Amino acid sequence: MKNLFFTVATTLSIVSVSYLLPSIFPGERAKILSDVGSEIRLVACSATNARTSSLRNAELVSNIVNGLPQDVHIMLLVNDRSAFATSSNNRRVTFVEMPRKSDISIWPQDPFVVVQGPSTTKLITPCSFNREDDERMPAQLAGMLNLEVIHSEMHFEGGNIVCGEDSVFIGYDTIQHNAVVLEATPQQIVKRFSKLFGRPVVVVGESIQEVGHIDLIVTPLRGRKVAVADSRAGARLAASAVDRQPDDVLDFETRCEQMYFGREDVTELTDRDGKKIIRPNVVGQTKAAISASLQIAPALDRIARQLSRAGYSVVRIPALIPDQGSTPQDDAGQGTNDASKRYPFLSYSNVLVEMRHNQPLVYLPHYGFEAMDQAALRAWDELGFQVKPVPGFATSAMYGGGLRCCTKVLLRN
Amino acid sequence: MKTKQIFFNAATVCMVALAVLMTQAMFNGAVHADQRNDAAGGDLRQRVADLEDQQDENDIEFVLIDRTLADLNLRINANDADIRALDGRGKALGDRVNRLDARCKNLQEQQDALAAMVKRLSARK
């Protein structure tokens, strides 16, 4: 009788422990898809057209598709399929039609993150996302790929989250915003993000962000290595180009300005609400961008030091960063409220990285500022990366985004 | 007695082991109950392959053409029309101002003439 009681008690204990074990030791949990890793297999992009959008990117999408290897499949989000034709039926591109009359941006990076478990892929959306109808993107992709969409209670934008091999990096503003909105301490928010994304969280920055999204300035690399943008180096390179190749710089500025609406002769357009959009003034603005880059450099240095203190080996990549505030600068470097002065954000950190055939490879946006593009190419090359430039990002950069912003990696091999 | 004890202990161990296996199987399922088995690792890859199979050709170069450039022209033409209309309205307004100006001058002259007449009449008194 005593033995029987002992057996039953032991069995009950085992049952209880077994029940609790999965929550104590979660095992292989779902994790946010890393920005560093094996070959990219599936990517989402979005294309806008002249009928509905002032920022048309059909040519840029072609560059992205052609810049990625043949075995990468692209899910191309469009809100008006009839607006587009392709050279022929292309095996690599699947059109994903958004609901009729929905308006989308060219930035699929932001409205969701991809989380992968051993046997599942989920798209996690933020609590709310208010940019055009971009919040519909994950649902459309999930519908096409039969994936699950999880609506999170957290507030985030994919561009302010980058993921290394071990940790996920989240911009300071995202943590603070959630702390205020969810009435929690930043530490609690970090824990919640860590649980949601299945990886430890590193908060990037210790004060309000100077750059809206950290993926423009921080690139996780393999191991405990991170690349941080160096706008001081970028300013030096640009200043040297202004001195030595002024015609090239002028040519770049002129092309940025002329191609803003995709056609040289278009200087202004009216948006859906009847508001005039005026072509920005870029010619002569490189000096102001240099000045702004120098101003922002200490903030980037602080981020580099912070990550270094956190145990990461930090390398720097040049960048030319125009003024990020609401007061663009005039020729004399003074703040003005002239919104028509919009200079492209030349980020060489907003990239896609992968290991292909055991070789680290970076897909690097090029903007047409030859001296800067080449310097960035050399910087990545010196880091041991094979570099695949993807041209045509000047206009996209005038709206503040590079290659990573224009894409969302959904699957790696 | 000893054999019975050993047998009993063996049975206990077996029961415990069985309980562990059953419980693990049971609760492991519960933990993942909210996840749909769409299988990223295998099935998402398979779905991508299926999508590729549905399309026949494999071009080396992909070219996406925006067929709505004509719409851009329309938008520009609409802008031009707006500008022309505004210009026309401006001209019409200018004409009206000129006419008013002329009337104003005319009235001023009439007023001056009346004033002169009043002055002359006053002088006769």
Give the whole-number percent of chain B exceeding pLDDT 90. 12
Q: What is the mean pLDDT of residues B79-88?
A: 70
What is the overall mean pLDDT for chain B? 73
Task: Out of A18, A62, A262, name the one closest to residue B64 (CB).
Answer: A62
Q: What is the mean pLDDT of residues A247-272?
A: 87
Structural domain includes residue A186 = yes
Structural domain includes residue A272 = yes
- Give this prediction's pTM: 0.78
Residues of chain B contacting residue A47, judged by C-beta atoms under 8 Å apart: 64, 66
Task: Out of B12, B43, B75, name the one closest to residue A270 (CB).
Answer: B75
State the pLDDT at residue A313: 97
Count of domains for chain A: 1
Express each pLDDT in A62-106 by its tens digit.
999 999 998 899 999 998 888 888 876 677 899 999 987 888 999
CA A96, CA A43: separation in Å to the nearest integer? 12
Structural domain includes residue A374 = yes
> How far off is chain A from B88, nearest CA to CA, in Å?
20
Domain at A336, CATH number: 3.75.10.10
Mutating which of A90, A123, A266 best tests the B interface, going by the most B Cβ atoms within 10 A? A90
> How far off is chain B from A336, nearest CA to CA, in Å?
28
Domain that holds residue B58: 2-124
Q: Which of A313, A323, A270 is nearest to A292 (CA)?
A: A323
State the pLDDT at residue A152: 96
- The more confidently predicted of residues B76 and B63 is B63
Task: Out of A50, A73, A269, name the one closest to residue B51 (CB).
Answer: A73
Contact call for B37 and A120, based on CB within 8 A: yes
Per-residue tokens: A326: 């609401």
What residues contact A338, with CB distance under 8 A and at least 6 apart?
A281, A328, A330
Confidence of residue B30 (pLDDT cuts 50, 70, 90): very low
Mutating which of B62, B76, B79, B80 best tests the A interface, going by the most A Cβ atoms within 10 A? B62
Structural domain includes residue A122 = yes
> How far off is chain B from A98, nearest CA to CA, in Å?
17
Count of domains for chain B: 1
> How far off is chain B from A119, nearest CA to CA, in Å?
4
Structural domain includes residue A23 = yes
Would you put residue A106 in left (φ > 0), alpha (ψ -120 to 50) or beta? alpha
Residues A135 and A125 sit within 8 Å (Cβ to Cβ): yes
Structural domain includes residue A7 = no
Domain that holds residue A228: 18-412
ipTM: 0.78
CA B43, CA B33: separation in Å to the nearest integer? 18
CA B19, CA B23: separation in Å to the nearest integer? 6
Structural domain includes residue A329 = yes
Name the residue of chain A whose CA is nearest to B54's CA. A91
> How far off is chain A from B81, nearest CA to CA, in Å?
12
Name the residue of chain B whose CA is nearest to A5's CA. B12
Mutating which of B38, B45, B65, B66 best tests the A interface, going by the most A Cβ atoms within 10 A? B66
State the pLDDT at residue B42: 52
Give the whole-number percent of chain A exceeding pLDDT 70. 89
Structural domain includes residue A2 = no
Contact call for A92 and B58, based on CB within 8 A: yes
Express each pLDDT in A188-228 by its tens digit.
999 999 999 999 999 999 999 999 999 999 999 998 999 99
Q: Length of chain B, please?
A: 125
